[in-house]
């Protein structure tokens, strides 16, 4: 089966580092779906404004050449315990397909764009299909969640000095704070002196973590690299 993207995603996250590990856990994170030329018509989006959520079927485009295994080590388990790939939402899957539920913010049929919130897709991610979320069949209250029922993400307390956010909008600051609180580091890292750099919305965010505290040290505008002619 040959499948082609019907849209591409636009996000403040231009790399995998720092992306929310699940959709919906950073509700303040906004992005947009840009339909390709063949589907960027008002007819293709007709009726979508009547829904609150949609499912996105998309591609782990950065993992195409990565080695795949029948077992993986989920970060939630500390990266040390292996479980079957089908019992996880690991991005290292045989067919590199992802599934996310996102909230619709606005539908712009004239532009072929759907603005959404809560996505866990990086900028440029190919989207292969869009389906409406139907609460009466897609929601299963009380369903078991495997190891996620036993382990919960420990959120960090994020400290960003006011002088670093003067040029940022309150929404961007809130989204950045919410994303950093999820601890973007690999879970086997525990060095309070180590600094990390996370690309976000045209900036490089430099931070370190000490215990349950995350300290932002710098927020530096990214330097655009001129295209070769």
Total domains, the chain: 2
Q: What is the mean pLDDT of residues 126-144?
A: 96
Poorest-pLDDT segment among 86-95, 159-168, 201-210: 86-95
- Are residues 115 and 85 both part of a single domain? yes
Give the pLDDT of residue 109. 96
pLDDT digits (tens, 9 = 90+) for 158-183: 999 999 999 999 999 999 999 999 99
pLDDT digits (tens, 9 = 90+) for 7-43: 999 999 999 999 998 999 999 999 999 999 999 999 9
> Which residues, at least 6 apart from 34, have a Cβ–Cβ distance to it below 8 Å?
7, 8, 9, 10, 40, 112, 113
- Are residues 24 and 132 both part of a single domain? yes
Main-chain dihedrals φ then ψ at residue 134, nearest 5 degrees: -115, 110
The CATH number assigned to the domain holding 39 equals: 2.40.30.70
Task: List the structure tokens of 93.
Answer: 């899957």
Give the pLDDT of residue 62. 81
pTM equals: 0.90
Task: List the structure tokens of 37.
Answer: 């030329």
Instruction: Kindly tell me if the per-residue pLDDT of 229 is higher than 70.
Output: no
Domain that holds residue 70: 7-138
Main-chain dihedrals φ then ψ at residue 23, nearest 5 degrees: -75, 150
- Are residues 91 and 166 both part of a single domain? no
């Amino acid at each position: 089966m040959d499948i082609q993207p019907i849209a591409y995603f636009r996000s403040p996250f231009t790399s995998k580092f720092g992306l929310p590990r699940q959709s919906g856990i950073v509700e303040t994170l906004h992005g947009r779906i840009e339909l390709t030329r063949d589907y960027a018509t008002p007819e293709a989006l007709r009726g979508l404004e009547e829904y609150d959520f949609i499912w996105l079927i998309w591609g782990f485009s950065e993992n195409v050449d990565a080695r795949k295994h029948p077992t993986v080590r989920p970060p939630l388990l500390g990266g040390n315990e292996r479980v079957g790939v089908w019992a996880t939402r690991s991005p290292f899957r045989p067919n590199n397909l992802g599934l996310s539920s996102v909230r619709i913010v606005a539908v712009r049929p004239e532009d072929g764009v759907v603005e959404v919130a809560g996505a866990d897709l990086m900028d440029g991610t190919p989207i292969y299909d869009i389906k409406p979320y139907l609460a009466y069949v897609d929601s299963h209250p009380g369903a078991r969640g495997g190891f996620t029922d036993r382990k919960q993400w420990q959120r960090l307390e994020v400290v960003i000095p006011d002088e670093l956010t003067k040029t940022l909008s309150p929404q961007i600051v809130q989204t950045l704070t919410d994303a950093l609180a999820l601890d973007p580091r690999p879970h086997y890292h525990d060095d309070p002196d180590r600094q990390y750099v996370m690309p976000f919305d045209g900036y490089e965010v430099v931070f370190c973590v000490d215990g349950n505290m995350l300290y932002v040290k710098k927020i530096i505008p990214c330097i655009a690299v001129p295209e070769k002619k």
